[in-house]
Amino acid sequence: MTAIREAIYAALAADHPMTVRGAFYRVTVTGAIAKTEAEYQTVKRLLADMRRSREVPYNWIADSSRWMRRPTTYSSAEEALRRTAATYRQALWDDAPVAVEVWLEKEALAGVLAEVCREWDVPLMVCRGYPSMSFLHSAAEAIHGRAQHDQHTHLYYFGDHDPSGVDIDRAVRQGIGESLAALDGFAAEDAGEAEDTFYDFATLDRVAVTTAQIGAWNLPTRPTKASDSRARNFKGASVEVDSIQPAQLRQLAESCIEAHVDRHELGVLQTVEAEERRVLERMAATLDGGDQ
């Protein structure tokens, strides 16, 4: 096994499933390879070989770009109720003064933050680089809907520290602001007005990568690509969000979310949730002809 294969295996063994791209990033952070397209091709090829040879289990690699559509069906009404009971959850944020969303630049890191977001009933918004207009408009509709119930939305953003990465914050605020203005029946005159409108409804904090984290955590840097058209207005080296350890990213997300959670309300909600789940289980048992 080559050094690169060992590095790939170690990255996946420590944290999986992840995408091929994600594995590539983890290995670049260790210094085993450079972050170049040529090295990415190498990782792709090696990972294909490692899967075929069963050196790496297939389920360690996630492919989120191909997916299946099929309806949800049940063998019986009783099974439907049992499955509902097993997955039933009370909405955590419905009555909270603030709703939280986690925004992520890279699909490759979705697996790192998905579990934290699922646990806390928080939407994970994956941009895949710059977000699309449609994606931003959908987000704006959700934010606008919450505002009708006096609920402010707090966005926590995770992205690269590079010329395009730091600009995505602005694109999110501006794009959502434009849609929010439209939803309120007016057109934002310029970028500044769009951002002002955004702040009337929501807040966005960049959680990672920040300049403070680069210094404090001694994060590995890479030269900023001069070919990026935004490089002129960007100072210093670039840092990938992937260079922060997955556990540390999860901890960052969790602390952001927990800051908005009312512990007392959470306890009440969990009690209600458990009782209502038992109701569903009893209904399923009745259909099954059981005696629970």
Partner DNA sequence: TGAGCCCACCTAGAGTTAAC
Partner DNA sequence: GTTAACTCTAGGTGGGCTCA
Binding site for DNA (CB under 7 A): 2, 4, 19-22, 38-39, 41-42, 44-49, 61-66, 105-108, 128-134, 160, 162, 164-165, 167, 171, 174-175, 225-230, 232
Name 199's Cβ contacts closer than 8 Å, sequence gap at least 6: 173, 177
d(CA 286, CA 44): 52
d(CA 222, CA 224): 6
Alpha helical stretches, state H, the chain: 3-14, 20-30, 37-52, 77-87, 110-119, 133-147, 163-183, 191-201, 211-216, 246-258, 263-288
CA-nearest of 144, 205, 231 to 179 is: 144
Q: Which tokens belong to 89?
A: 């959850």
CA-nearest of 94, 83, 85, 86 to 269 is: 94
Quick one: 60 or 156, whose CB is closer to DNA?
Answer: 60
CB 7, min distance to DNA, A: 11
CB 208, min distance to DNA, A: 14
Quick one: 38 or 68, whose CB is closer to DNA?
Answer: 38
Cβ(207)–Cβ(191) below 8 Å? no
Quick one: 101 or 160, whose CB is closer to DNA?
Answer: 160
Quick one: 8 or 252, whose CB is closer to DNA?
Answer: 8
CB 113, min distance to DNA, A: 13
CB 63, min distance to DNA, A: 4
Q: DSSP secondary-structure letter at 231?
A: G
Quick one: 58 or 74, whose CB is closer to DNA?
Answer: 58
CB 147, min distance to DNA, A: 23
CB 33, min distance to DNA, A: 8
d(CA 84, CA 1): 46
Name 219's Cβ contacts closer than 8 Å, sequence gap at least 6: 209, 213, 239, 243, 244
Quick one: 121 or 129, whose CB is closer to DNA?
Answer: 129
CB 40, min distance to DNA, A: 8
Quick one: 48 or 259, whose CB is closer to DNA?
Answer: 48
